[in-house]
Amino acid sequence: MGRAGMREQWTETLAGLAVVVIAAVFLVYSLKVGEVGHKTGQYELTARFGEVGSLAPGAAVRVAGVKVGTVSRIDLDPKTYLAVTHLSLDGGVKLPADSTAKITSDGLLGGAHIAIAPGASLDDLKPGGEIENTQGAVDIFGLIGSVIRPQGGGSSDAAASSTPAPANPATQPAESY
């Protein structure tokens, strides 16, 4: 093997090492940004929803658009058939007891997150407490489908509405010449 071959081999080795280092940096960055695991100073709340849509564990919990926690778990209550979401919130964020939680989507085809609107109560929700006021996910595609294909009426109504009603000569204005 000549000098050119050795130089090429070292170049490939250094390029491979650089790729591994960059991948490790991205891994560390994504773990810090994604806040994987529980931080100290967090507390858990629950909220019950009739429909969670595409909400999944790990989804963001936001107040005024600012991420203050994540959805840690979603269970089904076998007695009420409501989805029970467990929210892990930052310890520094105290929510009034009458706050409202609703599931909103990140976009038309995006994921979902929980948006919390703080209430005006002087009492705060305690760790392990429950947000009583909730609004479940809205099925956007179901709404669009109901507008496109209304469920009411049949084809006989469409045919009847396309033919004009016979005119009543008594209600017709007299023609002026």
Q: What is the CA radius of gyration of the chain?
A: 30
Residue 77 has pLDDT above 80, yes or no: yes
Q: Sorting pLDDT into bands at 50, 70 and 90, what band is 88?
A: very high
Residue 79 has pLDDT above 80, yes or no: yes
How far apart CA 92 and CA 72 sit, in angstroms, is 18
Those residues with Cβ within 8 angstroms of residue 133's Cβ, 6 or more apart along the chain or in another chain: 98, 99, 100, 101, 119
How far apart CA 91 and CA 73 sit, in angstroms, is 18
Per-residue model confidence as pLDDT tens digits over 48-68 = 999 898 899 999 999 999 999
Per-residue model confidence as pLDDT tens digits over 104-159 = 987 766 788 999 999 999 999 999 999 998 988 777 667 777 788 877 655 544 44
Q: What is the pLDDT of residue 150?
A: 75
Q: What is the pLDDT of residue 173?
A: 54
The residues that bridge with 115 in the sheet, in sequence order, are: 62, 102
Residue 63, CB-side half-sphere exposure with 13 Å CA sphere: 15
pTM for this one? 0.59
How far apart CA 72 and CA 77 sit, in angstroms, is 16
Q: What is the pLDDT of residue 109?
A: 67
Task: State both tokens at 40.
Answer: 């100290």
**Number of continuous H segments (helices) and E segments (strands) in the chain:** 3, 8
Residue 13 has pLDDT above 50, yes or no: yes
Residue 171 has pLDDT above 90, yes or no: no
Provide the residue ranges of all domains of the chain, joining segments of one domain with +: 1-33, 42-144
How far apart CA 47 and CA 115 sit, in angstroms, is 12
Residue 161 has pLDDT above 50, yes or no: no
